[in-house]
Amino acid sequence: MLYREAGQFKTTYGADQAIFPIPQDRWVVYAVIALAFVAVPSVANEYWLQAILIPALVFTLAAIGLNLLTGYCGQLSLGTGGFMACGAYATYKLSTAFPEMNILIVFLLSGIPAAAVGCLFGIPSLRIKGFYLAVATLAAQFFLVWLFNRVEWFYNYNPSGTITAPPRTMGGFMVTGPEATAEARYLVALGFVALFALLAKNLMRGRVGRAWMAIRDMDIAAEIIGIRPLTTKLAAFAVSSYVCGVAGALYFAIYLGSVETAAFDISVSFLVLFMVIIGGLGSILGSILGAFFITVVPILLTNVPEALGLPIGVALAKQLENIVFGAMIVFFLIVEPHGLARLWQIAKEKLRRWPFPY
């Protein structure tokens, strides 16, 4: 069947406001979700899950978090790594202090300290914008990593300075700790991404999202329609940091299992920012595409030449990766600020007209 909207008339505003107003899109999305939850865990091997899918999902969550702040509300942040660390250390403290607390609750609560810290470091955004704000959030990044490194209480005075996720179950299945299978951890990460993607999308297509985008696009005009810049920006920092905090909790407990503060350094902040830029600023779909793209490309660069009989070595692959990312970021920043998500949309528009040139 051709991909067409013709003949599909929306008879209610409700139908018109749906996330995927075109039925074909809706079915594709349902199919992808079903595949992800059912087919993937039974087909994918340990390597695929642990090396690609779990990190891609965890970073998707972080990218959604940052995109809420930077893509939708227009506030540039380089503190993502620090906010993720807040979530990770909160998970560690909560799960060791309250061993009987359900790990799901622990993850959800872990976002709260991150939200509070995000709010605090968001205060300068009331006065400063763009580059200067980025520098202020950079301060948050360095301060938080320093703090978690320095104050031994955060890692329970463990002489090695690492935090390790204690074994916990969810619905009878082990999801953290050495016993947890990759399938179980994958499903937890997937569940969080699905849930947060939906909540974020809902938030952004309603009143809250419009207020944030108004602040992003023109703060003077936002004020005359009654938006308070102060509370709006702080809310964006809080919500964004909450999501990043939960992503940090998963990054620690579900993906890596055991981390030091180095796992949350500035390179993580940049990595998530690149995902958002390449995927598409102001797009939830873009956050997903960007995170998967940036996780998968390095693996392709190491494996594809080898499969073709051209072993290029790890060092060269790493160089190639930097070149590819650098070039893509420049390309997207200059040519297509809406990223992969926009390219996808253009492809769909072409498909809608196909086979006619216009």
Partner 1 sequence: MSEAYADAAVSAGAPQAPARVFTETLLSVDDISLSFGGVKAISNVSFDIKQGEIRAIIGPNGAGKTSMLNVINGFYHPQQGRITYRGKVRKKMRPNEAAKTGIARTFQNVALFKGMSTLDNIMTGRLLKMKRNFFWQALYWGPAKAEELQHREYVEHIIDFLEIQSIRRTPVGRLPYGLQKRVELARALAMEPHLLLLDEPMAGMNVEEKEDMSRFILDVNDEFGTTIALIEHDIGVVMDLSDRVVVLDYGRKLADGTPDEVSRDQKVIDAYLGVPHE
Of 49 and 211, nearer to partner 1 (C-beta) is 211
CB atoms within 10 A of CB 62: 30
The dihedrals phi and psi of 184, each to the nearest 5 degrees, come to -65, -45
Is 127 a binding residue for partner 1 by CB under 8 A? The answer is: no
Angle ∠(69,71,72) on CA atoms, nearest 5: 70
Is 301 a binding residue for partner 1 by CB under 8 A? The answer is: no
CB of 284 to partner 1, least distance (A): 13
Compute the distance between CA of residue 37 and CA of residue 31 in angstroms, rounded to an integer.
10
The amino acid that residue 97 corresponds to is: A
Give the residue, chosen from 174, 205, 270, 345, that forms a contact with partner 1 under the rule CB under 8 A: 205
Residue recorded with tokens 């160089």: 319
Q: Which window, 37-45, 132-140, 197-205, 307-315, contacts partner 1 (CB under 8 A)?
A: 197-205
DSSP 78: S
CB of 318 to partner 1, least distance (A): 36
Closest CA to 90 of 251, 199, 234, 269: 251
Of 5 and 306, nearer to partner 1 (C-beta) is 5
CB of 238 to partner 1, least distance (A): 10
Measured between alpha carbons, how far is residue 188 from residues 107, 173, 250 in Å?
11, 10, 9
Is 25 a binding residue for partner 1 by CB under 8 A? The answer is: no
The amino acid that residue 60 corresponds to is: T
Q: Which window, 123-131, 139-147, 164-172, 209-217, contacts partner 1 (CB under 8 A)?
A: 209-217
Give the residue, chosen from 73, 109, 187, 214, that forms a contact with partner 1 under the rule CB under 8 A: 214
Of 150 and 207, nearer to partner 1 (C-beta) is 207
Compute the distance between CA of residue 121 and CA of residue 254 in angstroms, rounded to an integer.
27
Of 114 and 211, nearer to partner 1 (C-beta) is 211
The dihedrals phi and psi of 127, each to the nearest 5 degrees, come to -105, -35
Q: Which two tokens stand for residue 152?
A: 């031994």
Closest CA to 106 of 89, 85, 81: 89
The amino acid that residue 90 corresponds to is: A
Of 218 and 262, nearer to partner 1 (C-beta) is 218
- Long-range CB contacts (< 8 A, 24+ apart) of 316-322? 321/297
Is 93 a binding residue for partner 1 by CB under 8 A? The answer is: no
Give the residue, chosen from 225, 308, 314, 334, that forms a contact with partner 1 under the rule CB under 8 A: 225
How big is the site for partner 1, counted in residues (CB under 8 A)? Answer: 31
Is 216 a binding residue for partner 1 by CB under 8 A? The answer is: yes
CB of 111 to partner 1, least distance (A): 13
Of 220 and 310, nearer to partner 1 (C-beta) is 220
Is 228 a binding residue for partner 1 by CB under 8 A? The answer is: yes
Is 224 a binding residue for partner 1 by CB under 8 A? The answer is: yes
Of 85 and 115, nearer to partner 1 (C-beta) is 115
Is 8 a binding residue for partner 1 by CB under 8 A? The answer is: no
Measured between alpha carbons, how far is residue 266 from residues 84, 127, 303 in Å?
11, 24, 27
Q: Which window, 54-62, 148-156, 226-234, 252-260, contacts partner 1 (CB under 8 A)?
A: 226-234
- Cβ(280)–Cβ(71) below 8 Å: yes
Of 56 and 222, nearer to partner 1 (C-beta) is 222
Compute the distance between CA of residue 130 and CA of residue 334 in angstroms, rounded to an integer.
17
Compute the distance between CA of residue 56 and CA of residue 295 in angstroms, rounded to an integer.
6
Is 218 a binding residue for partner 1 by CB under 8 A? The answer is: yes
Contact positions with partner 1 (CB under 8 A) in 256-295: 282
Binding site for partner 1 (CB under 8 A): 12-14, 17, 199-200, 202-203, 205-208, 210-211, 213-214, 216-218, 220-229, 235, 282
